[in-house]
Amino acid sequence: MTKILGIDLGTTNSAMAAIEAGEPVIIENTEGNRTTPSVVAISKPGDRLVGLLAKRQAVTNPKNTVFSVKRLIGRKFSDEEVQKDKKLIPYDIRESANGGVEVKMTASLGEEKWYRPEEVSAMILSKLKADAEAKLGAKIDEAIITVPAYFDDSQRKATKDAGEIAGFKVRRILNEPTAAALAYGFNKKKNEQIVVYDFGGGTFDVSVLEVGDDVIEVKATDGDTHLGGDDFDQRIISWVIEEFKKESGIDVSKDTLALQRLKEAAEKAKHELSSTPETEINVPFITSDSSGPRHLLLKLGRAKLENLVKDYLDRSIEITDRAVKAAGFAMADIDEIILVGGQTRMPAMVEAVKKLFGKEPNKSINPDEVVAAGAAVEAGILQGDVKDVLLLDVTPLSLGIETLGGVSTKIIERNTTVPVSRSQVFSTAADSQTSVEIHVLQGEREMASDNKTLGRFILDGIAPAPRGLPQIEVSFDIDANGILSVKAKDKATQKEQSIRIEASSGLSKDEVEKMKKDAEIHASEDRKKKELVEAKNSADALVYTAEKTIKDAGDKMSESEKKPVEEAIAKLKKIKDESQQASEIKQATDELSSALSKAGEALYKNAKDQPKDNPGNPGADKEKTDKEARDVDHEDL
Amino acid sequence: MDFEEIKKDEEEIELVEEGSGDEARDKIKKLKEELGECRKKAEEYLAGWQRAKADFINSRKDEEKEREAMVRFANKKLLYELLSVKDSMEMALERAEEIDKSFAGGLNQILSLLSQIMRGCGVSETEALGQRFNPEEHESMEEEEVSEAEKDQVILEVVQKGYKIHDRVLRPAKVKVGIYKQT
């Protein structure tokens, strides 16, 4: 079965994705990038270039480098939009015989050739097809291509033609906002209203969608075809040039290298401000004058950037507001908002959208890739990738057992795909312990008492041994029906005991959500509790080792050598029982640990003096026990 | 139909066979059909299972390959960012040579330390000056008219150096390209 390729054929950049193992995966192009510039050129020597390569020669070959052809596809030459764009684009366009648009590219020998926009788009699609085939190692004949929701029949038809010229059988022309909604799985949300806020590199689109029984209906669209992230970059660059001029009196706007470095620095600053409140635009040796070299160093904060682009932000919010009203909805009617386009990473933009709707917008899927991913989801539905019988579930919550000190130790983490088996080896917490209780738990909390008990059983008949020595293998197995089997086996005696829990996923969706939320809310206090228990556990283990070392050493150690260790033991025991601070216990543990290594050194020295009677290496012994104590430990019975 | 049921039916066949007649033939026919269905399902499940197993093995291989590539290019972003530091240091060096030779020498050494580290990570400088313009490695910033035909599309000046990491372009060289104009 061949795959159907999902393609986001954008104005500035395009992306593609396919379904792999039921999930949409973005496919990199041959240059190793996840997006491809939607640029086509005939180079001076006459080669056809597509994507990044076309972009790299655009400056010196403007007449033969075609970008933003999406603005022209399927339109009449007489369209107001086309006439407006004609003034902005450096390449030549003319009216075709049937009233459409034609784009000129000149081959090397000066031979002029006029292309329909769909032919130019087809060149981009051909590259994507070839790159995807190379990457996936299979021929791809079918595609789903996305278009803006406002595209009319003729624009859709032309896009479909572009796909066919590129050699695809176009299975569907999908609306971009619908694709975004599909990527988030919102097609399953019946009777909900969704707003898709798409702030791309060069265009801004808002769509209001309604999810019906089987279809996602577009209720309204609005936007600005000449508003995008590139405008933000331009504002930063202009501001920097202006500031530098004020400071130095030098205009760098005509200096190619200076401008290039400035552009890179501005873009970097913009990206950085999405995650930090302030950044520096730092371009040393940007230029020079009679007084020597000049450097550019400017601080740019979020507030300043927001100020520079405030009118753009406000405009996008105004347009969004207008679109929702045009769809006949109030802001409160909107159930979900999806952010699309790289510029939506800007915190102020997220805030502005959040303020307008009074709720958090969806932004967990990469906004540059969400449309392509959604197209792949649609492809997956069409090619019927996921058979009912093979729909694999995941465990909604983590499963584990209770270990020493009431800690919940996870064996199967949440979101693990089932069927699955996992096992871990535990041990006893006390000397000569002959049985352990296996307390099976479900939930994300760190302490056993906060999680849900699924069952308990006792494994007995363990051969008496010092703590930490017996090896008890606990295995969890969840079958495809969600039935959990827990088995505990003593590796020495081969004795085993098990339990079967049918209702391991019997929780309702709300209960699962509540448990997850509880875990989030209590995360930090739970961690503290766990740290305390862990500190006590390792203190216990060290006390045990220290006492044993001293006992084993017998008269090989003098009383004066033993004394500091005994004192440290007494101190740690006291603190361990009284303190509620993990750090205090840890400190006392460290003290005992260093006292113990000093005693160990002495023991070594004594052994060297009497080489025939080697008492062993207490340092190594300590390390071993410590390690065991960590992944071992069981509830005392 | 599961195997328990088949077993029960098989017992019934024996009983019916003794009685024989149309009823038995119908029963056998029905069972054969059901057996056929079961076989088909079994084949389908086996195929699905084999496919899933193969998918798993293949994706593990792919993952291995991806991991290798990731290790090779893991530092790509950092190395790219370092290029702007290197550019600035080269500019500083140029100026320093005019002012203080000895200081410039030290700066030059720092610069070679940086270059050495980058070389160690697989970064190499792209050849550009005097080469034919090639958008796979170069980005054109400006054109300049030339009177010699052989200088057409040849790089006259490197405005900003280009670099490769292993076989991939880390940053294209920003260049000035000649364009032949007959005089």
Q: What is the pLDDT of residues A448-468, one digit of tens each?
A: 999 888 889 999 888 888 888
CA pair distance A435, A426, nearest whole angstrom: 12
The model's pLDDT over A322-335, given as tens digits with 9 standing for 90+, comes to 999 999 999 999 99
pLDDT at position A386 over 50: no
CA distance A177 to A194: 9
To test the contact with chain B by mutation, choose from A57, A109, A290 the residue with the greatest count of B C-beta atoms within 10 A, namely A57
Number of Cβ within a 10 Å radius of residue A374: 33
A127/A120 Cα distance (integer angstroms):
11
Q: Which two tokens stand for residue A616?
A: 């062993």
Output DSSP code: residue B147. S
> Token pair of A265, please?
């620095």
Q: Rounded to whole angstroms, how far apart are CA atoms A154 and A147? A: 12
Element (H, E) at A13: strand A13-20
**Residues in contact with A351: Cβ distance below 8 Å, sequence separation at least 6, in sequence order:** none
For A63, the enclosing helix (H) or strand (E) is none
pLDDT of residue A556: 80
Distance CA B58, CA A350 (A): 40
Element (H, E) at A561: helix A559-578
Q: What is the pLDDT of residue B55?
A: 77
Tokens of B31: 């069972």
Q: Quote the CA–CA distance of A70 and A225 in Å, as a whole number.
A: 11
- Å between B115 CA and nearest CA of chain A: 19
- Unique residue bearing structure tokens 């996923």: A505
Nearest to A204 by CA among A312, A85, A103: A312
Distances (CA, A) of A3 to A15, A136, A197, A485: 16, 9, 29, 38
CA–CA gap between residue A341 and residue A227 (Å, rounded) = 12
Share above pLDDT 90 across residues of chain A, in percent, rounded to a whole number: 52
CB contact under 8 A, A21 and B55: yes
- Give A-chain residues touching B88 at CB under 8 angstroms: 283-285
- Asked if A512 has any chain B CB less than 8 Å from its own CB, the reply is no
Query: Looking at residue A56, what is its pLDDT?
Result: 93
**B14 Cβ partners below 8 Å, 6+ apart?**
none
Residue A606 clears pLDDT 80, i.e. is over it = no
Task: Specify which of A233-247, A387-401, A554-568 reaches the highest per-range mean pLDDT.
Answer: A233-247
d(CA B52, CA A387): 13
Phi, psi (deg, nearest 5) at residue A215:
-125, 155
Within an 8 Å CB–CB cutoff, is residue B141 touching chain A? Answer: yes
Total residues found in chain A within this entry: 637
Could you tell me if A554 lies within 8 Å of chain B, comparing CB atoms? Answer: no
Which member of A57, A261, A387 has the closest CB to residue B140?
Answer: A57
Q: Verify cis geometry, omega within 30 degrees of 0, for the bond prior to A277.
A: no
Tens of pLDDT along A545-603? 888 888 888 888 888 888 888 888 888 888 888 888 888 889 889 988 888 888 888 77
Euclidean distance between CA atoms A333 and A328, whole angstroms: 10
The pLDDT tens digits for B14-55 are 555 555 688 899 999 999 999 999 999 998 888 888 878 877
Chain centre to alpha carbon of residue A620: 42
- The length of chain B in residues reads 183
B-contacting residues in A 211-270 (Cβ below 8 Å): 256-257, 260-261, 264-265
pLDDT of residue A392: 61
Q: Are A546 and A563 in contact (CB under 8 A)?
A: no
pLDDT at A633: 41
A321: exposed, middle or buried (C-beta count within 10 Å: 0-12, 13-18, 19+)?
Answer: middle
Q: Which residue has the tokens 């009196």?
A: A249
Q: Which residues of A touch B84 (CB under 8 A)?
A: 261, 264-265
Q: Residue A635: its pLDDT value, please?
A: 41
Q: Is A53 on the interface with B (CB under 8 A)?
A: yes
Return the bridge partners of A474, or none: A424, A488
Which pLDDT band, with edges at 50, 70 and 90, does A59 fall under? confident
Q: How many C-alpha atoms does A203 have within 13 Å on its Cβ side? A: 18
pLDDT digits (tens, 9 = 90+) for B147-183: 998 998 999 999 999 999 998 899 999 999 998 887 6
Distance CA A144, CA A15 (A): 12
C-alpha–C-alpha distance, residues A8 and A371, integer Å:
6
Cβ of A390 within 8 Å of Cβ of B91? The answer is no
Checking if the pLDDT of A138 tops 80, the result is yes
Under 8 Å between Cβ of A409 and A498 = no
Residue A598, both tokens: 């000093």
Using a 10 angstrom Cβ sphere, with 0-12 exposed, 13-18 middle and 19 or more buried, the burial of residue A111 is: exposed
Predicted ipTM > 0.90: no
Q: Touching check for A65 and chain B: CB below 8 Å?
A: no
Exposure pattern of B5-15 as b/e (b: 16+ CB <10 Å)?
A: eeeebeeeeee
User: What span, in angstroms and rounded, lies between the C-alpha atoms of B123 and A86?
Assistant: 42
Decide if pLDDT at A622 tops 60.
no
Strands (E), A179-270: 192-199, 204-211, 216-224
Q: Which uninterrupted H or E stretch holds A325?
A: helix A310-326
Q: What pairs with residue A340 in β-bridges?
A: A198
Contact status of A43 with chain B (Cβ, < 8 Å): yes
Contact B88 A21 (CB under 8 A): no
A residues 273-312 closer than 8 Å to B (CB) = 283-285, 288, 292-293
Enumerate the H helices of A90-175 as residue ranges. 117-136, 153-165
Among the partner residues B88, B133, B159, nearest to A257 by beta-carbon distance: B159
Confidence of residue A243 (pLDDT cuts 50, 70, 90): very high
Confidence grade of residue A108 (pLDDT, cut at 50, 70, 90)? low
Name the DSSP class of A252.
Answer: -
- Of A541-545, A630-634, B124-128, the poorest mean pLDDT is in A630-634
For chain A, say whether B62 makes contact (Cβ under 8 Å): no
Q: How many CA atoms lie less than 13 Å away from A510 in the CB half-sphere?
A: 0
pLDDT in tens, B57-73: 878 888 888 888 888 88
User: Which residues are CB-neighbours of A603 under 8 A, at least 6 positions away?
Assistant: A553, A556, A557, A561, A615, A618
The 3-class SS string of A425-455 reads EECCCCCCCCCEEEEEEECCCCEHHHCEEEE
Which position has the token pair 């240091």?
B89
CB contact (8 A) between residue A256 and residue B153: no
How does pLDDT run across B82-135, given as a tens digit for each residue?
999 999 999 999 889 888 989 999 999 999 999 999 999 999 999 999 999 999
